[in-house]
Every structure is written in structure tokens, then in C-alpha cells.
Amino acid sequence: CQHLFCLPSGPSSVPKPVLKWGRASDRDPPVKAKQQRRVAGSCDQEASVELVGDGEGVGSAQLEEVNNLLANDDQELIGDFSKPHLLPTVDGKDPGLKYISPGTLEAVLTGHFSSFIESSIVVDCRYPYEYEGGHVKGAVNLPLQRDVEEFLLKQPIVSLDASKRVIIIFHCEFSVERGPKMCRFLRERDRSCHEYPQLHYPELYVLKGGYREFFFQFPSCCEPRDYRPMEHPAFKEELRKFRGQSR
């Protein structure tokens, strides 16, 4: 995929069907392209369409093409195309990722979305000395790819309530490199574990502006209430070590 949150489109040997939304006056019942929902990464998307063709039976390849077309019509669905994104998003550097504002993260932390979210995990991708110098309350420090695999994929976090969501929010100091890169890594590894488009974590976000911006806007949501930059002069050796491990 060129964009991790977008369904890839490509050449197909199957002629594209003509889609017509079903109406009450249609004589023939619509053909339903259904994907059943499962907790922890599956589909809940259902669409009814009528295939206008030569009157013969609809093959599985045609139904797959229909699903692809329907998914491409709505780029705001979460990664498994089961529902729209819950959190309001803002424009960010990478158009393939979903960014949220510091205010939205603060709303998540203070319970404004508790009716819809069972578990929200804030992943701090900064190096440990940055995290120890001040971090979002409740955030987990996962600076390396192996840390993300161990924490999120070895025993995936599953919603016990089918009506609620598990969301992951990534950030680093500015959310320009490390946070977005780790978000893309999780989606790629998650995809490799499933039959497309199923996912353990279909709803991923990146905190725009990173910890720096969040701290300046909501210092009371940080502990300790401080901000230690990556290039702090007292931690040059730690920076060199972790940069080496990240390569």
C-alpha cells in the first residue's frame, strides 16, 4: 500500500460492474457484499448493491471488486473498513496517517470519549531519558520496534465490549519522524498477521505537534510536569546509543 490507511487499487482482469444503489421499487433483491465483524480486528461493513450485467450469476471475483470500490469511496473509515474514525482529525505531514490535536488527546485522557472507548493506549516513541524527563500521564514508552511488537502484538489488547473500541495514539517529541514511523510499522506488522483487511488495531492516530506541543498546552496532564528535549546536552551518550539501536 502506498498509503497505509487506504485500500490499494490496481489493475484487475475482472470487468468492473456497474453499481446501482438498491431502491424499494427494484424488482430483484440486491446482492449483498458482507463482511462479518469480530472483536480485535475484523470488518463490520455491510453494503447492498445491484450488479447490472448480463444476467448470469455473480462470481466471487466480482464481489471482491465491489468491496474494493465501496471501500475506496470512503477514505475516512478505520483500517479494517468497519466504521468511521471516532476522534476528530487534523491535517498532518503524512496524508496516509490520521493526526489528532493536543486538545483531542486531552479529551480522551479526561474521559470525554469513555462511552465509546474501552482502551486507549498512548505510545511515547521518544527515548527513555526523554520519557523520564516528562511524559503524558499513562503513556507507555516504546522507543524501538521490538518494544512495539512485544507490547502490542505478542498478546494483542482485545475489547471485551463489542460496542467499544481500542485506539492507539503515537507521538514523539514533535511527531515528525519517530512517532509516525512507529505508527506505520505497527500497521504493516498488523497487516502481515491477518487476511486483508482484518487487523488487531484498526484505529491508529498520531498526536500532531508531539509531546512538546501537548506539554505547553496541557502541562497538568504530564508527569513529571516537565519537558526534556531529545538533544539535551546532558544526554548526548544516551542519544547516540538509542539512535544506533533504532537503525
Q: Is 191 a residue whose pLDDT tops 60?
A: yes
pTM recorded for the entire structure: 0.71
Domain ranges of the chain: 79-245
Closest CA to 185 of 196, 172, 163, 170: 170
Q: Is 179 a residue whose pLDDT tops 90?
A: yes
Q: Give me the mean pLDDT over the 159-183 stretch.
A: 97
Topology of the domain comprising 79-245: Oxidized Rhodanese; domain 1 (3.40.250)
Q: Is 218 a residue whose pLDDT tops 80?
A: yes
Grade residue 197 by pLDDT with cuts at 50, 70 and 90. Answer: very high
Tell me the catalytic residues: 172
The lowest-confidence range among 11-15, 80-84, 114-118, 216-220 is 11-15
E-state strands within the chain? 18-21, 31-34, 46-52, 99-100, 117-124, 135-136, 140-141, 165-171, 204-207, 222-223
Per-residue confidence (pLDDT) for residue 73, from 0 to 100: 46
